Structure 1
Amino acid sequence: MLEEAFSCYQPELLGMLYHFIGNFEDARDALQETFIKCWKHRDQVVEISNLKAWIFRIALNTGRDMRQTAWRRRKRPLPEDPGTLATGGEGPEHEVEHREQLSLIRQAVSRLRTEEQEVFLLRQNAQLTYEQIADTVGIPTGTVKTRMRLALIHLREALAQTE
């Protein structure tokens, strides 16, 4: 049960951890550490009402720990498959423009307050509901909505300045 759930959520977990930590290798390490922590407490799985929120809470806490120890390291960009960026018959100009847009978005997300960044990444990358995010982070649903609203406002402002 735990292995299946972890396998199912792995892409979202890795994406969230990468955007939260800012370094792909550290995100992969945090993902492995998350699985180890989950596995050590697998006997509690039957008592957990929201397995997805539980796994993401462990990942988020692991990411926080990793982020604190990795703050001195340079961020290395996530390797991207050029084939996934180009759509249809559009040329290299479109690919370059798309990469620049992704870079601007990543920079804007990285400048959010930690609380806003966590909520935003859990919603966008992990596609958790507001209730699941509240369970994961341990805050009321109303606070999650407020942090998400503030994150979106700050992102819009940051991206508007780049135009």
Structure 2
Amino acid sequence: MTDDPESIERLSGPPKDAATARLERFFDSSADELLGTLYYIVGNVEDARDALQESFLKCWHHRHQLDDIQNLKAWVFRITLNTGRDVRKTAWNRRRTPLPENASREDFPMASTSDSPPDGLIKDEQLQQLRKAVAELPPDYQEVFLLRQNGDLSYPQIAEAISIPLGTVKTRMRAAIRQLRESVGDLS
């Protein structure tokens, strides 16, 4: 084996720059939130996983832009949402049924953590009811709601991520919450 720098680079690949490492760390730390958001958008876990992988690849292919990006989270969520929309459109064209009724807890990372079995059953039933209600939101409301809840983006970040005015984000969020309250009532 040689200590020649070119030989070492060929074996280990090119060195990572700070932006590339930042992108990898972000995907590692946000995979559950991204997958959860995609699950609601596309309707099933397999397509959500495919869309997550495709989203990462799209981000990876544009990693040369990372130094110019001020809000990595908003940028990644925008790409992820667009990928989810594309997959949903493809699934719709294939006439897939969105969000199967028998989705299990393992299908989505929003699991209940309770102390007693009866409490756990109640929480699971409430989560199922909430998931169904979120799935029934109009796509525009659903995206804003999921970016806020799963993506933990602020309203200005959501507006930037999906390229709509801040007022529209707030209006869609209020409408989503109103519709969810009508659908599920008070879950507490």
Q: Structure 1 stretches (4+) deviating beyond 3 angstroms?
A: none
- Is 2:114 aligned against 1:87? yes
TM-score scaled by length of structure 1: 0.88
Match of 1:109 among 131, 134, 138: 134
Q: After superposition, give the CA deviation of every residue in 1:82-121 in whole Å (9 maximum; x if it has no partner).
A: xx53522x12x33332222111111111111110000000
Figure out how many residues of one structure are paired with residues of the other and give that number.
158
- Is 2:50 aligned against 1:29? yes
What's 2:123 paired with? 98
Q: After superposition, give the CA deviation of every residue in 1:113-137 in whole Å (9 maximum; x if it has no partner).
A: 1100000000001111111101110
Q: After superposition, give the CA deviation of every residue in 1:52-93 in whole Å (9 maximum; x if it has no partner).
A: 111000000000011112232343425439xx53522x12x3
Unmatched runs of 5 consecutive residues or more in structure 2: 1-21
Relative distance call for 1:140 and 1:86 in structure 2 (3 A) is closer
Q: Which has the larger radius of gyration?
A: 2
Q: Which amino acid aligns with 1:39?
A: W
Where does 1:45-60 land on structure 2 (aligned, <5 Å)? 45-60=66-81
**In structure 2, how many angstroms separate the alpha carbons of the residues matched to 1:55 and 1:32?**
12
**In structure 1, how many angstroms separate the alpha carbons of the residues matched to 2:131 and 2:90?**
21
Q: Which of structures 1 and 2 has the larger relative contact order (alpha carbons within 8 angstroms, sep 6+)?
A: 1
Unmatched runs of 5 consecutive residues or more in structure 1: none
Q: Once superposed, what is the RMSD of the aligned Cα atoms? A: 2.0
TM-score scaled by length of structure 2: 0.77
